[in-house]
Amino acid sequence: MSSTAAIHGAVTLAPALSGDLDEVMHVMERAFSPEFGEAWTRSQCAGILPMSGVLLTIARTGADEAQGFSLLRTAADEAELLLIAVAPKARQQGIGRRLLDHFIGHAEHCGATRLHLEVRDGNLAVRMYRAAGFETSGRRRNYYRGHDGTQFDALTLVRGSSPA
Ligand SMILES: CC(C)(COP(=O)(O)OP(=O)(O)OC[C@H]1O[C@@H](n2cnc3c(N)ncnc32)[C@H](O)[C@@H]1OP(=O)(O)O)[C@@H](O)C(=O)NCCC(=O)NCCS
């Protein structure tokens, strides 16, 4: 039996502020397994939000419940997707791809020509990133540390032109 529930009502994306962090952490705690050490803490999120070029976006259903979020940063001609997550029950219904497309659109609107992200090697999200035109540019060994101390490599992915 699938643990995914059909989402009723339109999903809307909206910019969020520090006052929305409760909702973000609610999704974060469900979306990321502590096995892999990929989730951010509330203080990490709160610390980055005031920084220049940082954008937090929440995906909500018509019922106003947060189903997912993304966190990105743009700087000059570069943009980085810092986090993207969808609540387990809302997955495989296109919300992740909408958040990713929003990142790409926002980055291009801001003048970024090179888009980056990091993802744990083996994360199913890699498939989504590749479908959106991201290619592997490197590997960071033992970048993530899970709750039992096990370490996992990160892949760095890039989309767009190479630096001159
Ligand atoms: C990655 C994640 C955001 C995808 O969200 P989602 O709403 O389920 O994604 P979508 O429904 O838009 O699917 C987009 C693509 O992702 C891939 N994908 C999503 N779920 C998948 C699964 N269970 N198995 C394989 N591929 C999958 C597919 O390529 C899919 O495209 P397709 O439907 O055309 O095949 C979600 O699984 C998640 O929150 N994971 C935990 C957090 C995480 O690891 N984030 C990434 C690192 S920051």
Cα–Cα distance for residue pair 16/25, rounded to 1 Å: 13
The structural domains of the chain, ordered by start, are 12-160 (3.40.630.30)
Q: Is 99 exposed, middle or buried (0-12, 13-18, 19+ CB in 10 A)?
A: buried
Pocket perturbation via mutation, ligand 1, pick of 56, 97, 98, 134 by most ligand atoms within 8 A of CB: 97
Q: pLDDT (tens digit, 9 = 90+) per residue, 27-44?
A: 999 999 999 999 999 999
Which ligand 1 atom is nearest residue 94's CA? 12
CA-closest residue to ligand 1 atom 22 = 124
- The pTM for the full model equals 0.94
Tokens of 69: 């979020």
Average pLDDT on 116-124 reads 97
Pocket perturbation via mutation, ligand 1, pick of 27, 86, 102, 144 by most ligand atoms within 8 A of CB: 86
Bridge-based pairing of strands 135-145 and 114-120 is unpaired
6: left (phi over 0), alpha (psi -120 to 50) or beta: beta
* Residue 2 scores a pLDDT above 50: no
Cα–Cα distance for residue pair 143/164, rounded to 1 Å: 28
Chain-centre distance for alpha carbon 8: 23
* Residue 163 scores a pLDDT above 70: no
Which ligand 1 atom is nearest residue 119's CA? 47
What is the DSSP-derived secondary structure letter of residue 72? E
